[in-house]
Amino acid sequence: MRTDLYDYHLPVGRIAQYPARIRRKCRMLVLDRCNGSIVHTRFEDLPGFLACGDLMVFNNTRVIPARLLGCKAQTGGLVEVFLLRKIARRRWAALVRPSARCRPGTVVEIDRQGAFSVVIEDYLGPGKRVVRPLCNGPVAAALEKYGHTPLPPYISRPDERSDARDYQTMFARKPGAVAAPTAGLHFDRVILGRLARAGIRSAEVTLHVGEGSFRPIKTDTVERHKLEDERISVPRRTINRIAAARRGGRRVVAVGTTVTRALETLARWNPSPVETWDRRGGRPEKTAGDSDLFIAEPFGFRVSDTLLTNFHLPRSSLLVLVCAFAERKMALGAYAEAIKKNYRFYSYGDCMLIL
């Protein structure tokens, strides 16, 4: 598939720079992939589109304050270090800018008093380095004190104190992501209460969202694009609930593309029928590991029946996944309708429910 088939034009003014004041009142486009029909509504109406016994699966990853701003100890030149993932004890893969002037051995002072700095240790690729944080105490505590919320590049403003809260879902418990699973940002206790009263169950997975979430597909064809590995973990309780929902004829609702990737990765690790996953002989043996699964059409979804998702960047792996789930022309037609109706796009924007 040519990459340009997943392109569309979005006016810059449609990119949400801040979240809606009350998240559950954001707009929601509902697309029925059986007949292509579209309904315009509000996210708070979500329970009305689901049925008693349906299972919603959330991503409980927590975004870390991974963006560090400092200066070179030798020259005072400004440097940005964007931690991507921990690769060994006290060693991280990171994006460093400007990278050309940050050779191995360079010390980047994050705190001018010497309480926190980063040493550039090795090359990993264009713009990427192995870095070693230096601080007294846990690195996580230093990041909370000195790090910045890693807002995506299409949010054209510096991060603010409110972003530390706003760019985090209410399910965030497992630190490790450098981008938020944005479909989960719309939920609050009010909407969860309504879902529970409607008999809709919930479960969680962990997928630590990496930098690939930001990266557009630059190859001419989709098939040549490669995703970075992302760490996935699916607890036994979630596996049991998925199996029970499937046996009962209920839907598994993936809250976001990250959940979809986690569930479909699990299905490819374990070929047994989903309905038997909670029984002897059918239980998945592998439930955690790294995944580079790239979901593109045609794709046989084994677990995800319904998808709740935000609107994604053109030529992105996330948009390609949505087009695999809903069929490309139908999905891009829904995007065109959302643009026409002045929906707000991307991380802090409105959402789409694909039935």
Q: What is the CATH number of the domain that holds 323?
A: 3.40.1780.10
**Same domain flag for 128 and 250:** no
Residue 296 lies in a domain: yes
Position 310 pLDDT exceeds 90: yes
Cα separation, 222 vs 219, whole angstroms: 7
Q: How far apart are CA 14 and CA 165, in angstroms?
A: 23
Q: How do residues 118-144 score in pLDDT, each as one tens digit?
A: 999 998 888 899 999 999 889 999 999
**Residue 261 pLDDT exceeds 90:** yes
Assess whether 213 and 75 both reside in one domain. no
**Does the pLDDT value for residue 180 go beyond 90?**
yes
Q: What would the pLDDT profile of 2-11 be if each residue is shown by its tens digit? A: 999 999 999 9
In this prediction, residue 34 carries a pLDDT of 92
Q: pLDDT tens, 33-57?
A: 999 999 999 999 999 999 999 999 9
Pairing of strands 128-135, 91-97: antiparallel
Same domain, 29 and 110: no
- Give the gyration radius of the chain's Cα atoms: 21
Of the candidates 68, 65, 94, 93, the one whose C-alpha atom is nearest the C-alpha of residue 79 is: 68
pTM: 0.94
- Identify whether the C-beta of residue 321 lies closer than 8 Å to the C-beta of residue 293: no
Q: Which domain holds residue 32?
A: 3-63+167-354
- Looking at residues 45-72, what average pLDDT do you find? 97
**Cβ(334)–Cβ(322) below 8 Å:** no
- Residues 96, 81: contact at Cβ < 8 Å? yes
Please indicate, yes or no, whether residues 173 and 107 belong to a single structural domain of this protein: no
Please report the sign of the dihedral spanned by the C-alpha atoms of residue 137, residue 139, residue 141, residue 144.
positive
Return all residues near 299 (Cβ < 8 A) that are at least 6 apart.
Answer: 264, 324, 325
Confidence of residue 89 (pLDDT cuts 50, 70, 90): confident
Q: Tell me what the pLDDT averaged over the chain comes to.
A: 95
Quickly state the pLDDT bin for 177 (edges 50, 70, 90).
very high
If asked whether residues 258 and 123 sit together in one domain, one would say no
Residues 118 and 73 in one domain: yes
Amino acid 65: pLDDT? 97
Of 282, 275, 86, 57, nearest to 187 by C-alpha is 57
38-52, 64-78, 336-350: which range is least confident on average?
A: 64-78
What pLDDT, on a 0 to 100 scale, did the predictor assign at position 211? 83
Are 20 and 98 contained in the same domain? no
Does residue 158 belong to any structural domain of this protein? no
How many domains would you assign to the chain?
A: 2
Pair 208, 343 in one domain: yes
CATH number at residue 128: 2.40.10.240
Instruction: Look at the block and give the residue holding tokens 């996953």.
Output: 277
Asked if the structure places residue 47 within a domain, the reply is yes
Q: Which band of pLDDT confidence, cut at 50, 70 and 90, is reported for residue 100? A: confident
- What residues pair up with 135 in beta bridges, in sequence order? 116
Q: Is residue 157 a part of any domain in this protein?
A: no
- Work out whether the CA dihedral 10, 15, 21, 24 comes out positive or negative: positive
Do 93 and 171 lie in a common domain? Answer: no
- For residues 107 and 228, membership in a common domain is answered with no
